[in-house]
Amino acid sequence: MRAIRLHTFGPAENLTLEETEDPAPAPGQVRIAVAASGVHLLDTAIRAGHPGPGPAPTLPTVPGREVAGVVDALGEGTDEAWLGKRVVAHLGFVPGGYAELAVTDADRLHEIPGGLDFAQAVAMIGTGRTTMGIVQFAEPGPDDVVVVPAAAGGIGTLLVQYAKNAGATVVGLAGGPEKTERVAANGADLAVDYRDPAWPEKVAAYRGEVTVVYDGVGGDIARTAVGLLAPGGSHIVFGWSAEGIHGGEPLIVEGVTEQVLGPVMLEKAGGPRPVRTLELRALAEAAAGRLVPAVHRFPLAEAAAAHRALEERGTTGKVVLEP
| Burial (Cβ within 10 Å: 0-12, 13-18, ≥19) of residue 278 | buried
Average the pLDDT over 269-274 and give the result. Answer: 90
Proportion of the chain above pLDDT 70, given as a percent? 98
Give the end-to-end CA distance of the chain in Å, rounded to a whole number: 11
Taking only the tens place, the pLDDT of each residue in 70-90 is 999 999 999 999 999 999 999
Q: For residue 120, what pLDDT is reported?
A: 96
- Which of 232, 213, 209, 210 has the alpha carbon at shortest distance from 222? 213
The answer to whether residues 176 and 170 touch, using CB atoms and an 8 Å cutoff, is no
Distance CA 257, CA 230 (A): 13
Q: Is the pLDDT of residue 254 over 90?
A: no
Check residue 207 and give its pLDDT. 82
Q: In this predicted model, what pLDDT tens digit does every residue of 187-213 receive, in sequence order?
A: 999 999 999 999 999 999 998 889 999
Residue 265's nearest CA partner among 255, 250, 277, 248 is 277
Which domains, from first to last, does the chain contain? Answer: 2-128+272-322 (3.90.180.10), 138-259 (3.40.50.720)
